[in-house]
Structure 1
Amino acid sequence: MTAGLYACSGSGPAPQPPPGGSVPPNPPGKGVSPFTGLPAASAPVLAVKIDNVRPARPHTGLGAADIVYVEQVEAGQTRLLAVYSSRLPATVGPVRSARESDLELLRQFGRPALAYSGEQSALRPLVDAAPLFPLTPGDARGAYFRSQDRPAPHNLYVRPERALAAAPEAGKAKDIGFRFGAAPPGGNRVDQHTVRYPATRFTFTWSATGERWLVAMDGTPTRTTDGGRATARTVVVQNVEVRPSRFRDRGGNVTPYTETVGSGTALVLRDGRSHAARWSRPAADGVTSFTTPGGEPLTFAPGQVWVVLTGR
């Protein structure tokens, strides 16, 4: 793994759009990330499954992600699936186990690497059959460590560069359907939007001075250990089918399955406004397109994107 291919984030600020509002044409061309619409070198894709119960917070390395997905898990809780390519932070975590839904969600990325703590034995055959590189602590030795500042199982962390060294053939960033550009016309002015799960809630508050959505979880501002306040340039609230799967956790709770293939409605938050949208992903290995009700591509603001997958 060549460190020069990546810009390590540490606690530094996220890359900003080019001066003057200049945005590369859609879809993003060479030298522009298809995940953020910002300048970036072509690099492998690493997804990391991140714990999100209260004892797991604050997170580490979240600000460097290109995309952050929010998924429902057992008992109405949520976990995050952070996707990295443009930048690799030194550390990401806490890392937790994968779910069946992750396999379908990641198909659109080609053959990415997936860092996670493990899976129940019945799920492993599905993981092995999926087009990805599984990177558990056993698969990527030396890439993981446990912190002493919080109790297990909320203290497992991964070093992304070391993890990717165990998956040298991981696929590079490719078009997954996101389009970036000037704000679409219309929409409704909104200062705050909340998405509720049975046991968790996410609130996104617009900051005009920072031109960002400030993230809060369960009423508390979301902060990271290495980058300050968690923010997003664009938030996509994607309404999907969430159904029971055939898997259960150790406590006997049924694992939800989040359907990300198909179509439905969405709400896109950018630049202090909300825009009604439609999403469509006809096949697992295809892209997810977001359009206006009239069928035009709905452009995102260049920068980190949060996709909140919530039940209809």
Structure 2
Amino acid sequence: MTAALTAGCTRHGPGDDGRAPYETPSAASGSLLAVKIDNVPAARPQTGLDAADVVYAEQVEGGLSRLMAVYASTLPKTVGPVRSARESDLELLRQFDEPTLAYSGAQQKLLPLIRRAPLRAESPDEAAGAYYRSTGKAAPHNLYLHPARLLPTVPGRAALSSGFRYGPAPSGGTPETARTVRYPSARFAFTWSAQRDGWLVSMDGTPTVTPDGRRVVVATVVVQYVKIRPSRYHDVLGTNTPYTETVGSGRAEVLRGGRSYDATWSRPAATDGTAFTAADGARVNFADGQVWVVFAGAPS
């Protein structure tokens, strides 16, 4: 499936009409684009978030949150605000084939790791012509990206993780109309809308909208329970940067169609995709459309 898909709407594809479910192959068909996106109130509403194939939500310093939007099927005209990278981003991105990472800098001691990582790192230092400052927000929440200046063409959904599988809903599950994931200083809420055939997103108690006021609606929400530990790095205030471990295995919840499905996630090595399976070992299909993966701290 390499054709561009329309952003901001529910997308139906393989598996929805009785055909075999679509699973992304392990070999990518080109570089996809991952963008680190600011997620404090001053940065909202974000631009281009609704066009992403996948949005990852992670915990950062002070218990706040940050997003990574991944684009493989289509590129919006603008994405942002763009913010800095974290060490755990490098591990998360290893599952993709030499992705392009757009970010606005990093902790000084982390920069050598970014340069050695198997990805194409494109900050304003490397690609100044792809970024601009908006007058609508105050710095540092006003740095935006023209994605096409970094990635003229998109590789298609085949460039996504081999762990993602799209198709008919699994059997079983429990009715679920609302789910909240809390960080120490942030929270994500997802409310099922039968009318919109998707999950309405809210962050920190505020509806997530596009710049023109449309609600962001996603097809599948994955709550992935992972180990979140201190890293070797600190921000400018001396606050430790959390490290989100995405290699290993653990519990997950897959939300789709107004139901919740218990699952186990498994990613044996950094170069593997993340597979989601039910108790009987069957793969858990995602609904076709945008996926949000929220990394939640696993109970100790």
**TM-score when scaled to structure 1?**
0.88
Partner of 1:253: 239
Q: Distance in 1 between matches of 2:136 and 2:112?
A: 34
Partner of 1:164: 151
Partner of 1:38: none
1:229 aligns with 2:215: yes
- Aligned to 2:244, the other structure's residue is in SS state strand
Partner of 1:14: 9
Partner of 1:118: 105
Q: Distance in 2 between matches of 1:220 and 1:143?
A: 30
| 1:299 pairs with one of 270, 275, 285 | 285
Determine if contact 1:60/1:226 at 8 Å carries over to the other structure. Answer: no
Matching residue's letter, 1:293: A
Determine if contact 1:44/1:172 at 8 Å carries over to the other structure. Answer: no
Matching residue's letter, 2:223: V
Matching residue's letter, 1:194: T
Partner of 1:264: 250
Q: Distance in 1 between matches of 2:69 and 2:101?
A: 10
Change (3 A) 1:134 1:187: same
Partner of 1:289: 275
Determine if contact 2:15/2:21 at 8 Å carries over to the other structure. Answer: no
Partner of 2:192: 206
- Aligned to 1:223, the other structure's residue is in SS state coil
- Aligned to 2:165, the other structure's residue is in SS state coil
Partner of 1:215: 201
1:179 aligns with 2:174: no
Alpha-carbon displacement from aligned partner over 1:87-132 (angstroms, at most 9, x marks no partner): 1000000000000000000000121000000112200111111110
- Aligned to 2:109, the other structure's residue is in SS state coil
Matching residue's letter, 1:199: S
Alpha-carbon displacement from aligned partner over 1:200-225 (angstroms, at most 9, x marks no partner): 11110000011100000111110011
Determine if contact 1:45/1:172 at 8 Å carries over to the other structure. Answer: no
Identity of aligned residues (%): 57
Matching residue's letter, 2:9: A
TM superposition shift of 1:140:
1.3
Alpha-carbon displacement from aligned partner over 1:236-260 (angstroms, at most 9, x marks no partner): 0000000000100001100000000
Determine if contact 2:107/2:234 at 8 Å carries over to the other structure. Answer: no
Matching residue's letter, 1:249: D
1:51 aligns with 2:38: yes
| 1:100 pairs with one of 74, 79, 87 | 87
Determine if contact 1:61/1:92 at 8 Å carries over to the other structure. Answer: yes
The aligned runs of 1:139-150 (5 Å cut-off) are 139-150=126-137
Q: Distance in 1 between matches of 2:67 and 2:280?
A: 31
Matching residue's letter, 2:64: Q
* Structure 2: runs of 5+ lacking an equivalent: none
Per mean C-alpha deviation after superposition, the further-off stretch among 184-193 and 156-165 is 156-165
Deviating above 4 A after TM superposition, structure 1's stretches of 4 or more consecutive aligned residues are 5-9
| 2:114 pairs with one of 127, 133, 143 | 127
Q: Distance in 1 between matches of 2:181 and 2:135?
A: 33
- Aligned to 2:112, the other structure's residue is in SS state helix
Change (3 A) 1:116 1:172: farther
TM superposition shift of 1:290:
0.2
TM superposition shift of 1:13:
3.8
Matching residue's letter, 1:252: G
| 1:192 pairs with one of 178, 191, 194 | 178
Q: Distance in 2 between matches of 1:262 and 1:182?
A: 27
Q: Distance in 1 between matches of 2:14 and 2:73?
A: 19
RMSD: 2.5
Change (3 A) 1:181 1:168: closer
Matching residue's letter, 1:205: T
Determine if contact 1:147/1:155 at 8 Å carries over to the other structure. Answer: yes
Partner of 2:263: 277
